[in-house]
Amino acid sequence: MKIVHYVNQFFAGMGGEDSAGTGPELRDGATGPGRKLASLLGDEHEIIATAVCGDDYAASHPEFAAELVARAKERGAEMIVAGPSFTSGRYGMACARIAAAASEADLPALASMHPDNPGIGEAAGTTVVESGLTARQMKDSLERFAAAALKIASGEELTARDGRIGPVARTNRFAADNAAQRAVALVLTRLGGDRDATEIPLPDFDSVTPAAPIADAGEALFALVTEGGFVPFGNPDRLESARATKWVRHSLDGLDSADEGAFMSVHGGFSTVWANADPNRILPLDVAREMEREGAIGRLHGEYLGTTGNGTTVADARRFGMEWAADLRQQGIQAAILTAT
Amino acid sequence: MQADVGLTRMVHEVSELDLGERTSYDAGRLTVGEDTVRDLLQDGAFAEVRLGVASPGDSVRIVGVLDAIQPCSKGPGGGGAFPGLLGPAMPVGRGETHVLRGAAVLAAGYLPRAQEAVIDMSGPAAPLSPLAATHNLVVEWTPAEDASWEDVDQALRRGLVKVAAHLAEAALDAEPDAVEELADPATSAANGKPRVGVILNLQTQGTFKDVFVYGRSLSGGLPTVISPTELDDGAVVSGQFGHPSLKNPTYLHQTHPVVAALRERSDELELAALVLCPEPVDQANKELVSAHAARLCKQLKLDAAIATKEGGGNADADVSLKMDRLEEEGIAAVGILAEMAGRDGTGPPLVVPPTKATALVSTGNYDERMTLPVVERALGRPSIALLDDQASTDEVVLPVAAVYCAQSTLGWGRLTCAEVLA
């Protein structure tokens, strides 16, 4: 089978974070971990090309995946594999998006990542096999990846026994009793000594290590970002007031203040009367400009990024966060002030 | 003075509802006197008030549902029901109360901050709303030109309780279909059964997102203990219109499902207390209120408590923090929460999970989509703003989140989640 293998800029040997903005490209043959993978796949299969994209670019341009898959198909790819991406979030998201785009294009596909990789949330509709935590487990991870790829290439379904992982979906059902009756039954179970009974397993949230403090705020480029439903007056992008599925960006160039009638909040979680009377209360552009003039901050970025944080799913919020971080980093921004409501 | 004081509930079943010349109740048939009800609703905030009827099985969609109330009266003029709004602000929960079971009074239309709530009286969404199983008098209105939205909100709340009391008054002399004796925990003798409390978190986020206890908001206050029978008499009235599926309307406070489930199991457990708590918007006060509520439960010598919430993700913390503090006090904690696991159900289900307690009951995933079929007529609003003003009678695809009370953590519904590989 002719296979195209996806890796990020780091595993393609192009560099680390400094090259994370690199756009998508297709290279001949196997690269980096693809060489070992090719040998594990044996003579019946060939890695004809390596698809590469920088992590920031992939996070902020979701369309990169369909583009690379289309180019791989033109090149004759019969299967696409991506990773292993371990616990690297942007890389994992990119691998999941590539595999999902390949599945969408009716190509057999497989991504490899650790179950804690946040990218797993983007992998619905495709197949993921478990990798180790870090690149130190590259050898074991590649062996499992190759075995899973061989199984898929032969047209078989991958199972949990092969290391298949993936999002578990919680779907609505009717129980026999109402929730109040079930709660009372759970009280009796709990008083009977069973401490584990529950209908909702407690979620594991990933913890994020804060970035190092900036050395000199007076030299740094700052961005304003918000989840306060902050939009240009009239809400031209129709940003949702609740359960947002998207985010918006708008220019702040030439503006000294977020004035009434120029901006507004569409947030559905609080009364927007005071926000609309003075939109600086949501996005503190007036104070940020003052600080810029005083030299307390180096310079203010020329646009803001915003969404509505009201009943937003964690998966969407995580995606927005990764896209924002990648976008801001590509613009050279060193600090972001996120106003939360 | 009676030794064992409680509430006697005289239940009158409603199996038919129509509009007519004068209000009457006879053998399950409730006729609503249109002119009288319109007079009761009259207020400077309204230019016009309209009345509609929606019964179970009707091909009707009610859009923009605000509050819903079960008709309830303790005597002429309400006799003290809905204290602080209709009756004087004095403790209720004793004596006799007449209720029209199977009927409700609803308001449906636009208010700011009110997220559009939908009830389908038939079809796949009907089993998801308690108000799809009641005969509903639906109040619609046009605001007066000079009225503020706050005036409209208050006029609706005052009007709805008046109408609810008026309708129940028609049954004061009728033979009840059932007579239910409801104990007041304060006057019940100790019986050795495990003492279980109900922790009722009430949203306190200002106008259009507040709940009224004896006519007052709990905002800024500490938890307080009332008798469950005070709920039966309408001591808690909702003015909270966010998060449709998570809403706890007055109707569900009056018929509180956890209170009812504990009364059903009174041979095994004792319904020992009802603790009302505000839901502060900041973390420090959430922590204070939660720790204080757990101390109150300890003073009440509870063995277990069931906590519920109103509102979206931030209110998960009001349940989770209380569960953790209860467990620290040695009180078994059970929480009822809705899941927000994303459209495909693969996201983390809770925004703020407990860390020490684990016993949770799920009222289903908020984000799952469902298709609601074409209906013959709509009440409340002609189009659905959430769907770019699609006609209310169209086939529509909506998240469970939009279905009125579908996931109320007061626990009336049977919705829950099961796990499948995505």
Find which of A117, A126, A168, A187 to mutate to test the B interface (most B CBs within 10 Å of its CB).
A187
Which amino acid is present at B138?
A: V
Q: What is the per-residue pLDDT for B421?
A: 66
Which residues does B272 contact at the CB level (< 8 Å), separation at least 6? Answer: B185, B195, B196, B197, B300, B301, B302
HEC profile of B142-173: EECCCCCHHHHHHHHHHHHHHHHHHHHHCCCC
Mean pLDDT for all residues in chain B: 95
**Residue contact A181–B264, C-beta within 8 A:** yes
Least confident among A105-114, A167-176, B23-32: A167-176
At residue B191 the predicted structure's pLDDT band, cuts being 50, 70 and 90, is confident
Is the overall model pTM greater than 0.90, yes or no? no
**Residue contact A170–B208, C-beta within 8 A:** no
Instruction: Enumerate the residues of chain A whose CB falls inside 8 A of the CB of residue B354.
Output: 202
Region A17-39: mean pLDDT is 95
Evaluate if residue B32 carries a pLDDT over 90.
yes
B401 touches chain A (CB under 8 A): yes
pLDDT per residue over A225-274, tens digit each?
999 999 999 999 999 998 899 999 999 999 999 999 999 999 988 889 99
Region B216-241: mean pLDDT is 97
pLDDT per residue over B233-282, tens digit each?
999 999 999 999 999 999 999 999 999 999 999 999 999 999 999 999 99
Global ipTM: 0.97
Q: Which strands form B29-33's sheet, in the order they lie side by side?
A: B16-20, B29-33, B24-26
Torsion sign across C-alpha atoms B348, B353, B355, B358: negative
Evaluate if residue B41 carries a pLDDT over 80.
yes
Nearest to A82 by CA among A148, A1, A140, A20: A148
Report DSSP state, residue A209.
P
Task: Parse chain B into domains and list their residue ranges.
Answer: 6-402
Which residues does A51 contact at the CB level (< 8 Å), separation at least 6? Answer: A4, A5, A6, A7, A24, A25, A26, A68, A71, A72, A80, A98
Phi, psi of A315 (to 5 degrees): -60, -45
Q: What is the per-residue pLDDT for B4?
A: 56
Q: How far is CA B34 from the centre of its chain?
A: 25
Evaluate if residue B1 carries a pLDDT over 70.
no
Evaluate if residue A319 carries a pLDDT over 80.
yes
- Residues B363-398 as b or e (16 or more Cβ within 10 Å = b): bbbbbbebebeebeebbbbebbebeeeeebbeebeb
Q: State the number of CA atoms in the 13 A half-sphere of A49 facing the CB.
A: 19
By C-alpha distance, the chain B residue nearest A199 is: B361
Region A25-54: mean pLDDT is 96
Least confident among A151-165, A168-182, B141-155: A151-165
**CA–CA gap between residue B315 and residue B252 (Å, rounded):** 18
A2-165: CATH topology is Rossmann fold (3.40.50)
Region B332-356: mean pLDDT is 91
Nearest to B245 by CA among B60, B99, B116, B151: B116
Q: What is the per-residue pLDDT for B2?
A: 46
Mean pLDDT for all residues in chain A: 94
**Residue contact B421–A166, C-beta within 8 A:** yes
Evaluate if residue B186 carries a pLDDT over 50.
yes
**Residue contact A187–B368, C-beta within 8 A:** no
Q: What is the per-residue pLDDT for A168?
A: 78
Instruction: Enumerate the residues of chain A whose CB falls inside 8 A of the CB of residue B265.
Output: 184, 188
pLDDT per residue over A271-311, tens digit each?
899 999 999 999 999 999 999 999 999 999 999 999 999 88
Q: CATH 3.40.50 occupies which residues in chain A?
A: 2-165
B267 touches chain A (CB under 8 A): no
Q: What is the per-residue pLDDT for A313?
A: 79
- CA dihedral A86→A91→A96→A102, nearest 10 degrees, is -120
Evaluate if residue A224 carries a pLDDT over 50.
yes
User: What proportion of chain A, given as a percentage, has pLDDT over 90?
Assistant: 81
Map tokens 């922790």 to a residue: B199
User: What proportion of chain A, given as a percentage, has pLDDT over 70?
Assistant: 99
Which residues does A147 contact at the CB level (< 8 Å), separation at least 6? Answer: A40, A162
Q: What is the per-residue pLDDT for B422?
A: 60
